[in-house]
Amino acid sequence: MEKHWWQEVVVYQIYPRSFKDSNGDGIGDLRGIIEKLDYLHTLGIGAIWLSPVYKSPNDDNGYDISDYEDIMDEFGTMADMEELIAEADKRGIKIVMDLVVNHTSDEHHWFIESRKGKDNPYRDYYVWANPAEDGGAPTELQSVFLGSAWKYDEGSGQYFLHLFSQRQPDLNWENGKVRQEVYDMMNFWIDKGVGGFRMDVIDLIGKIPLEGITSNGPKLHEYLQEMNKATFGDKDLLTVGETWGATPEIAKLYSNPARHELSMVFQFEHSLLDNEPGKEKWDLKPLDVSELKAVLSKWQTELGEEGWNSLFWNNHDLPRIVSRWGNDKDYRVRSAKAFAILLHMMKGTPYIYQGEELGLTNTPVSSIEELDDIESINMYHDRIARGFSVESIMESLNAKGRDNARRPIPWSAEANGGFTTGTPWLALKPNYKEINVEAELQNPDSVFHTYRKLIQLRKDHPIVVWGDYELLETSSNVFAYYRTLGEERWLTVVNLSNFEEKISVDARFNRVLVTNTVEEVTDLHAYTLSPWQAFVVELSGN
């Protein structure tokens, strides 16, 4: 397999609204990101995935775009954006744009035109359908944000499709003009020097809604091959698709280099392990570590030369890993480092979501008024109407709600964590006086310094990028694996529990590369791991 830069870097995701406010309006912005590029350079990342910064009325915080070639007023100007790309480039950091093209905002001029009537030239840019015989919605299809996915339009007597909010109408990818508009827009950004695209819910673009087909539609891969050819195909860009239902077989369709589609996808199989199978993400179930081992190991081994993995615990849609599967009370620092070590020694491109490198935790709240996210608010009203208790709803939202990841970043112990001099758009978690960037930078034993070290190991040792993966048999709460490249062999061992665990490995080691405890790692033939202990060792010849 030909080698690419995006296989060797670590990517950092920025949710701009919550990263750093530069002008005191309480909302993070592009100049705030520019201010913090040196911090990201110190961490050692090679690319930033920037959540949407385009013009948007913010019904879904920028995932509803009204102009793809302009910047959201609150975030700055196109000149700021160009400066961000240039300043990042000076530090060896590429900017990966969030490409949200399954849908637009209802304020996009294409939709404003489309809505004007059946004869409008933009009508077929979106998915319109006649009412069912009884006058109701064309099909039973449900929106991801709950309720019917069809919205009635009085003016023309037809329904339009919205797989997300009513203000996010779905584009009609069957229309070649729509596809060409998207490719032109992508080229506009490529010409500005961006390093790639993260493709929002890309598995939905081949949908045939009237037949009930949403993800993995028949023309999905044809469209991606067409896109590849029309835009980034002859450039070495990072392209990563968000694909909730991907199996390794499906992931190979996207990322097999011979097929000329994408660099990699985000698969979510591991992220679905803590809800009741077949139910909603809110229907909680404890994680079974042996399932996590099985799923991640399957992905590590099954893509082979026909694909490339992304590695992540967190993003702007998911709860904080240390609260979700770690222990954010007695072992916050240790379990945060344990998850970092576990993921960053695997094969694939690691993604860090802002604040993960500080070991930030979830932010439980007691009432829905304290939340902003449209998905959480819709879920609340839906479940109230279905007779769920407020307590059970808040329990689910505190465990899985998206605002857990969207609280502003605490930069220092100053008021509002130094995120803003004004009033933050969403309150910070009150513990920012203890957990903040400044404190993490100063403390050599912080979560930040473990992330920094892991990134450096990846830069210094090709085995981390290219080595083969092999799971080691251990007790169920211990996750241990080998990486092997030529004569070199590394062993990663992680105790994912609050208890001591014993391991027995028939091997000796030369040196410890990284660890999250002060305890010395001794004879591996009979070693007792302390709670959440994690380390990586280089094994000796025999």
Minimal distance in Å, beta carbon 423 to Ca ion? 11
Taking the chain, what is the end-to-end CA distance rounded to the nearest angstrom?
Answer: 30
Q: Toward ligand GLC, which CB reaches closer, 164 or 451? A: 164
For the CB of residue 137, give the shortest distance to ligand GLC in the complex, in Å.
20
Q: Which of 74, 200, 226, 440 is catalytic?
A: 200
| Alpha carbon 287 to chain centroid, angstroms | 20
CB of 244 to ligand GLC, least distance (A): 8
DSSP 8-state class, residue 521: P
Given Ca ion, ligand GLC, none, residue 60, with its beta carbon under 5 to 8 Å by kind, binds ligand GLC
Residues 445-484: x where in contact with ligand GLC by CB under 6 A, - otherwise, as a string? ----------------------------------------
Q: Among residues 201, 454, 455, 529, which is the contact residue for ligand GLC, using CB under 6 A?
A: 201
Q: Tell which one of 59, 200, 261, 403 touches ligand GLC (CB under 6 A).
A: 200
21 touching ligand GLC, by CB under 6 A: no
Contact 162, 201 (CB under 8 A): no
Partner from ligand GLC, Ca ion, none binding residue 21, C-beta < 5-8 Å depending on class: Ca ion
Q: Looking at beta carbons, which residue is closest to ligand GLC?
A: 63
Task: Please tell me the count of residues contacting ligand GLC according to CB under 6 A.
Answer: 9
**Is 122 in contact with 113 (CB distance < 8 Å)?**
yes
CA-based torsion, 442, 446, 447, 450: positive or negative: positive
Residue from 21, 170, 242, 440 carrying the catalytic annotation:
242
Per partner kind, with CB cut-offs from 5 to 8 A, the member of ligand GLC, Ca ion, none near residue 403 is none
Q: Judged by CB under 6 A, does residue 60 bind ligand GLC?
A: yes
Pairing of strands 158-161, 196-199: unpaired
Binding mask 216-255 for ligand GLC (x = CB under 6 A): --------------------------x-------------
Q: Which amino acid would we find at residue 421?
A: T
Closest Cα partner for 201 from 256, 164, 150, 255? 164
Q: Closest distance between ligand GLC and the C-beta of residue 100, in Å?
A: 5
C-alpha distances in Å from residue 334, one per residue of 307, 495, 515: 32, 10, 10
**Residue 494, phi then psi, degrees to nearest 5:** -135, 125
Report the partner that residue 23 touches, choosing among ligand GLC, Ca ion, none (CB closer than 5 to 8 A by kind).
Answer: Ca ion
Shortest Å, Cβ 29 to Ca ion: 4
Helix (H) or strand (E) holding 134: none
Beta strands in 343-477 (DSSP E): 349-353, 468-471
- Window 154-193: contact mask with ligand GLC (x via CB under 6 A): ----------x-----------------------------
Nearest residue (CB) to Ca ion, 302 versus 414? 414
Note the residues at the interface with Ca ion (CB under 5 A).
21, 23, 25, 27, 29
Among residues 99, 317, 121, 51, the alpha carbon closest in space to that of 224 is found at: 99
The secondary element (H helix, E strand) that includes residue 22 is none
Name residues contacting ligand GLC, limited to 64-123 (CB under 6 A). Answer: 100
> Which of Ca ion, ligand GLC, none does 29 bind, CB closer than 5 to 8 A by kind?
Ca ion
Based on the residue annotation, tell me whether 523 is a catalytic residue of this protein.
no
CB of 200 to ligand GLC, least distance (A): 5
Type of residue numbered 346: M
80 binds, among ligand GLC, Ca ion, none (CB under 5 to 8 A by kind): none
CB-CB contact of 229 with 262 (8 Å): no
The runs of H, that is alpha helices, within 44-128 are: 78-90, 109-114
Extended beta strands in 67-178, E state: 67-71, 94-99, 128-129, 150-153, 158-161
Is 460 one of the annotated active-site residues of the chain? no
Question: Which residue reads 């508009």 in tokens?
Answer: 181
The CA distance from 514 to 497, in Å, is 19
Beta bridge partners of 503: 527
Helices 248-255, 220-230: crossing angle, 10 deg rounding: 30
CB of residue 76 to Ca ion, shortest distance in Å: 8
β-sheet bridge partners, residue 480: 493
Q: Which is nearer to ligand GLC, 262 or 480 (CB)?
A: 262
Q: How far apart are CA 335 and CA 531, in angstroms?
A: 9
Q: Is 227 helix (H, G, I), strand (E, B) or coil?
A: helix
Rule CB under 6 A: is residue 317 a binding residue for ligand GLC? yes
Please, which residue, 29 or 200, has the CB nearer to ligand GLC?
200
> The tokens of 265 are what?
């996808």
- Picked from ligand GLC, Ca ion, none, the partner binding residue 253 (CB below 5 to 8 A depending on kind) is none
CB of 359 to ligand GLC, least distance (A): 23
Contacts with ligand GLC, residue ranges (CB under 6 A): 60, 63, 100, 164, 200-201, 242, 316-317
Catalytic residues: 200, 242
